[in-house]
């Protein structure tokens, strides 16, 4: 059986629409849950071998791969709580060695991510601190949460300044200041004997009138939330990243005495959406002079998808132009 995390063996010239990228699905990538009669709901996200497939498309430094893995599981976990059609994304832009960090997830669970890195500055940063956290990698800038449901729907976006040492701290700052939502975020990503693995535990406090016991008063609700936080704090990265430990068992160990109820899991999949047609559309925005400049010595224009790192070659002789800014493939 072929390894699903490896590119397809189909030749490039037969890849008319989809590049040779991993075909992999994690059926129980997101496990939603809630605590009965308590103001607590959450999701446990575990990418399994999908993390290896996503994080090895680029030859990133381990610190960058770890940051990107955390962004991917955070994005998947937050997207799973929304009712939408389209894509949900988290994007960080800063003045640090990682100038841009982007992860997005569709309503069907298609996941992808990318980090733009200044190699020279990153080298200096890791020389000073071998395992830098998100703060030193991103530097000063902003963190944006966006939900794009297509051209016929208004695009929602929330933006907050980057604050905090880790990505979980940064996201928690956003929810506290912009959404007035109390959360607990535990993000884990590491290279294990089985390859890269990434996971997230996300807890949210819901309003008392939001489906919990109507007889639960504020003091009891506060105590239930504090108890959930204390129990969640005992979870280790090793438990989160262990392929042999099912998500339901992880949650049972944490919350079995707190009325744990697991909901229907959600699948996650390798989700790069690039294609020749999409990139041909990008080329259509250039005139003849620009296209001639892009062409290499062999007369081909090569375009690379930033997400999956796959090259698409277009024969310059086949790219016809009807005038500047109106060329077609």
* Amino acid 272: pLDDT: 83
Is the domain of 303 the same as that of 254? no
CATH code of residue 225: 3.55.30.10
Is the domain of 261 the same as that of 210? yes
Q: What is the 3-state secondary structure (H, E, C) of 78-110?
A: HHCCCCCCCEEEEEEEECCCEEEEEEEEECCCE
Is the domain of 83 the same as that of 129? yes
> Domain boundary at 270, 300, 315, which?
270
Give, in degrees to the nearest 5, the angle at Cα 106 between 103 and 107.
Answer: 140
Domain that holds residue 286: 276-328
* Amino acid 72: pLDDT: 98
Is the domain of 30 the same as that of 107? yes
* Amino acid 15: pLDDT: 43
Does residue 7 sit within a domain? no
Is the domain of 287 the same as that of 250? no
For the chain, 329 residues long, the average pLDDT of each consecutive 10-residue run is: 40 46 90 96 98 95 97 97 91 97 96 96 92 94 91 81 94 89 96 97 83 69 96 98 97 97 96 78 79 83 85 77 46
Sequence-separated (6 or more) residues with CB below 8 Å from residue 118 = 97, 98, 99
**Longest distance between any two alpha carbons in the chain, whole Å:** 75
Is the domain of 251 the same as that of 145? yes
Going 121 to 127 to 128 to 132, the CA torsion angle's sign is: positive
* Amino acid 322: pLDDT: 45
* Amino acid 320: pLDDT: 59
> Domain boundary at 270, 294, 312, which?
270
Q: Find tokens 């506060």 and name the residue.
A: 222
Is the domain of 52 the same as that of 103? yes
> Domain boundary at 238, 255, 270, which?
270
The number of distinct structural domains making up the chain is 2
- Identify any residues that bridge with 186 across adjacent strands, giving them in sequence order: 201
* Amino acid 302: pLDDT: 85
Is the domain of 203 the same as that of 307? no
Does residue 85 sit within a domain? yes
Does residue 3 sit within a domain? no
Is the domain of 81 the same as that of 34? yes
**What one-character DSSP code corresponds to residue 193?**
T
Is the domain of 260 the same as that of 283? no
Tokens of 240: 């989160």
Buried b (16+ CB within 10 A) or exposed e, 111-132: bbbbbebeeebbeebbeeeeeb
Does residue 198 sit within a domain? yes
Angle of the 62-79 helix axis to the 119-128 helix axis, nearest 10 = 100
Is the domain of 180 the same as that of 102? yes
* Amino acid 293: pLDDT: 86
What is the pTM for the complete model shown?
0.86
Does residue 15 sit within a domain? no
**What SS3 state is found at 187?**
strand
* Amino acid 209: pLDDT: 56
Is the domain of 200 the same as that of 322? no
**What SS3 state is found at 229?**
helix
Q: What is the 3-state secondary structure (H, E, C) of 111-164?
A: EEEEEEECHHHHHHHHHHCCCCCHHHHHCCEEEEEEEECCCCCCCEEEEEECCC
DSSP string, 29-62: EEEEEEETTSSEEEEEEE-THHHHHHHTSS---H
CATH code of residue 319: 3.90.1280
């Amino acid at each position: 059986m072929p390894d699903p995390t490896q590119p397809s063996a189909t030749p490039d010239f037969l890849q008319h629409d989809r590049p040779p990228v991993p075909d992999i699905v994690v059926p129980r990538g997101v496990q939603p849950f809630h605590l009965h009669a308590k103001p607590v709901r959450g999701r446990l996200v575990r990418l399994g071998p999908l993390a290896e497939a996503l994080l090895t498309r680029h030859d990133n430094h381990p610190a960058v791969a770890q940051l990107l893995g955390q962004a991917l599981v955070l994005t998947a976990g937050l997207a799973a709580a929304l009712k939408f059609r389209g894509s949900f994304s988290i994007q960080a832009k800063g003045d640090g060695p990682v100038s841009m960090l982007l992860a997005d997830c569709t309503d069907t669970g298609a996941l992808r991510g990318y980090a733009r890195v200044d190699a020279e500055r990153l080298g200096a940063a890791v020389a000073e601190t071998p395992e830098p956290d998100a703060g030193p990698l991103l530097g000063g800038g902003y963190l944006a949460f966006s939900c794009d449901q297509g051209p016929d729907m208004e695009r929602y976006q929330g933006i907050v300044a980057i604050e905090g040492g880790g990505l979980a701290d940064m996201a928690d700052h956003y929810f506290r200041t912009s959404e007035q939502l109390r959360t607990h975020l535990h993000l884990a990503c590491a290279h294990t004997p089985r390859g890269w693995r990434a996971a997230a535990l996300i807890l949210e406090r819901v309003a008392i009138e939001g489906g919990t016991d109507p007889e639960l008063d504020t003091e009891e609700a506060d105590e239930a939330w504090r108890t959930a936080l204390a129990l969640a704090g005992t979870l280790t990265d090793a438990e989160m990243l262990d392929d042999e430990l099912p998500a339901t068992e992880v949650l049972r160990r944490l919350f079995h005495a707190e009325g744990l109820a697991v909901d229907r899991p959600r699948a996650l999949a390798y989700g790069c959406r690039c294609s020749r047609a999409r990139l041909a559309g990008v080329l259509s925005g250039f005139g003849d002079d620009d296209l001639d400049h892009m062409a290499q010595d062999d007369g081909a224009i090569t375009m690379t998808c930033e997400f999956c790192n796959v090259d698409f070659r277009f024969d310059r002789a086949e790219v016809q132009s009807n005038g500047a800014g109106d060329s077609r493939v």
